[in-house]
Amino acid sequence: MNTPSTSYAPVVVTAELDGRLSRWLWLVKWILVIPHWIVLLFLWIAFLVVTVIAFFAVLFTERFPRGLFDFNLGVLRWSWRVSYYSYGALGTDRYPPFSLGPEPDYPARLDIAYPERLSRSLVLVKWWLLAVPHYLVIAFFTGGMRAGWWSGGLITLLTLIAGFAVAFTDRYPRDLFALVVGLNRWVLRVAAYASLMTDAYPPFRLDQGGHEPAVGATR
């Protein structure tokens, strides 16, 4: 799995805003995504089980089994696509596919570089101790972790503002889109770190916009 050379991080989150969005479809997307939410409920249960298995695998072998890694990556990809279609961004009217695969033609994409080796010592503390500062930040973004990372909080509020902007002006404010994607990017980086998929500590930085910043880019 290749990470683009223009990205500084092992977690790459990209999003492309539809050129034209329906003024009113966003009002009923909560109904349209119910089948996805049902499937994702079971996928996230499996995700947690896989992460526990991976914890012991890393502890004893320093490796995250590739098949398990690809499954968890697929769950994160699926979640990001559903979130992007619905109230995590409202960035597209293209219905998300029921797929764990990369789906390169879909406007919301996620990739995580597969780590050949992971630290045995970090696996003991990164998900519950080292990630705590990030948990406090993204709890504000998401409204807490009660119903999954894609619901509630600042992200949903900004997305609803974008929905009303589309309804009344027929356009999604570009600066607002950049901010919403940046917030989601932060959450997904923390999700990858906390689920043991990378040892690279997530930056405390809001990288806004549809594409990852180039290497050496300054903010």
**pLDDT tens readout for residues 57-84:** 999 999 999 999 999 999 999 999 999 9
Q: Which domain holds residue 165?
A: 11-194
217 inside domain: no
210 inside domain: no
17 inside domain: yes
Q: Rounded distance, CA 63 to CA 55, Å? A: 9
DSSP 63: -
- What is the structure's pLDDT at 143? 80
206 inside domain: no
**Domain count of the fold of the chain:** 1
26 inside domain: yes
Closest CA to 168 of 31, 21, 32: 21
Least confident of 86-90, 130-134, 210-214: 210-214
- What is the structure's pLDDT at 70? 98
Q: Rounded distance, CA 84 to CA 162, Å? A: 13
133 inside domain: yes
Give the H/E segment covering residue 11: strand 11-15
Q: How many CB atoms lie within 10 A of CB 152?
A: 18
77 and 103 in contact (C-beta within 8 Å)? yes
101 inside domain: yes
Q: Rounded distance, CA 25 to CA 209, Å? A: 23
- What is the structure's pLDDT at 17? 98
